[in-house]
Amino acid sequence: MENASAILFDTALGRCGIAWGPKGVLAVSFPEPSEAETLARLSKRAGDVALVEAPPQQIARIIDDIAALFEGEKRDLAYVELDMEGVAAFERDLYALTVDIKPGETKTYGELARALGDVSFSQRVGQSLGRNPWPIIVPCHRVLGAGGRMTGFSAPGGVEAKRRLLKIEGAIGPDLFD
């Protein structure tokens, strides 16, 4: 990628990262154990990135919305322009369906697979969401296993991070340990 920039930013969940280029957002990273690991995750999709001190206005808005979402505010990130260069048609269609899942709502892998043409695509849906370079913008945490099971979340913290995000958004209620 050429002309890719990135910035790390603080949220209620920790220090996240976002990378962008001329065609839109290239990658987002949940907090990793270190800033170097957060940058490495961004670089997997965005290539070499130049760290900036202050993002352009449209990226600052996205950062504000991500931070607010992590504080429990219902923010819809469907407006974000994503750079989908190199993303296959199946994933593009899947990510578009996933973006349509609003805060406080969930869908299952099977529901998304059916919407893509065949429930047998469920495993492929899960694998594609596991490679999602835009977590939270493409809200893969809102996709559950059959019967609402908490399965498959590749972000740091795994299924517990998924559960926490869904609680913050009001998609699931508190449990015995809250």
Active site positions, annotated: 140
Three-state DSSP at 107 gives: strand
Task: Give the count of beta carbons closer than 10 Å to the beta carbon of residue 21.
Answer: 19
Task: Give the count of beta carbons closer than 10 Å to the beta carbon of residue 116.
Answer: 17
In 71-121, which ranges are continuous DSSP H helix?
89-99, 109-115
Q: Are 66 and 11 in contact, with CB atoms under 8 Å apart? A: yes
